[in-house]
Copies of this chain bind each other. A is one copy, B any other.
Amino acid sequence: MELEAMETPCLVLDRGKLDRNIAAMARRLADRGVTLRPHGKTAKSIDVLRRALEPGQGITVSTLKEADYFFAHGITDLLYAVGIAPVKLDHAADLIRRGARLTLLLDSVEQAQAASVKGREHSVVFPLLIEIDSDGERSGLLPTDPRLVTVGQALQRLEGVSLRGVLTHAGGAYACDSIEAIRAMSLRERQAAVTAAEALRAAGLPCPVVSIGSSPTARFAADLTGVTEVRAGVYMFHDLVMAGLGVCAVEEIALSVLASVIGHQPSKGWVIVDAGWMALSRDRGLADPQRDEGYGLVCGLDGAPVGDLIVRSVTQEHGVIARRGGLPLRPEAFPVGGAVRILPQHACATAAMHDRYVVVDGSSAVLGTWGRINGW
């Protein structure tokens, strides 16, 4: 079957680009002697993750549903990298009792106490990392915060929990405006984690795991001394945000949304397609006024950008395609019933709107479909 015959909108994944993106990141971290712990939150698909993993290699997840799903498919070493909510501890204990090596995350004594209560109740020991704040954007303790050692001591003292180390995520890298800024963020990310690990060790506490990572900082990390593992997820697919940051080329983006042309507004130079925010997500990425790519960049069926066209606006099931900057567009070049592929601003958000990948490899021939999960 060819892409032209697929009902639209649907999510297209180029397997060749995927494999090359996976290989590039694996090689980069192998060269630095650091373990990669791929993040399953972008792909949420065992078919994708299998291509990124060596036997026994662990992964990162963003929900316990991902943990259930990947564990059911044979991946046993799982790191749930969102601060644990006490209401999820029964679920986490169930995974551990069934054989998962599931590590959890926290940044407070309250969470340590809640985990201890549930660990004892279920006769399991929760392995725990302490979250460190390296970018000031959301969770975590500063590496200099005295509460870091307090939390570590609580984990060491309490039953049902086990201190395993520290974790940080420099999500602030996505706000960087240059590769130099990403390099600086990468150094800051490493520094925060290593400083926190040293503070725990200085207090006589164990800290075997020093986990850092985001796809941008993993790409440009110059120094990983003292780091034991790097997490990254978007690198498998890449997207326009990553291209805008200089992390990848547009040609390396493996994900796109196939859409059909359903109409025109000739006086406005608009082409209307059947992919709106429901298929593309509402994520506008960096929305850089210097290089606005709206809700996605328009490509032909071969996956190559055509004529600087973007999705300028979206409603639930409609996208309006126009030339960037409002320049004229000849809608006749996009007849009703024709198809386009739209590169996503944010691969995680766009993929989350779909339940499967239509797999191609460098052409419009469909090789099959791969499932993915969503939800909690």
CB of A9 closer than 8 Å to a CB of B: yes
**Residue of B with least CB distance to A275:** B376
Min Cβ gap A329→B in Å is 15
How many angstroms from the CA of A99 to the CA of B177 in the assembled complex?
57
Min Cβ gap A281→B in Å is 6
Contacting residues, chain B, for A264 (C-beta < 8 A) = 108
CB of A375 closer than 8 Å to a CB of B: yes
CB of A111 closer than 8 Å to a CB of B: yes
A263 x B83 contact (CB < 8 A): yes
> Which segment of A28-36, A155-163, A244-252, A312-320 sits at the interface?
A312-320
| Number of interface residues, chain A, beta carbon within 8 A | 66
How many angstroms from the CA of A83 to the CA of B271 in the assembled complex?
12
A-to-B contact residues, CB < 8 Å: 4-10, 41, 62-64, 82-88, 91, 107-108, 110-111, 114, 131, 133, 137-140, 171, 260-265, 270, 272, 274, 277-279, 281-284, 313, 315-318, 320, 335-337, 339, 348-349, 352-355, 374-376
A87 x B318 contact (CB < 8 A): no
B263 x A63 contact (CB < 8 A): no
A7 x B138 contact (CB < 8 A): no
Contacting residues, chain B, for A64 (C-beta < 8 A) = 7
Q: A85-B337, A108-B263, A336-B111 given as contacts; is B317 within 8 A of A63 (CB)?
A: yes
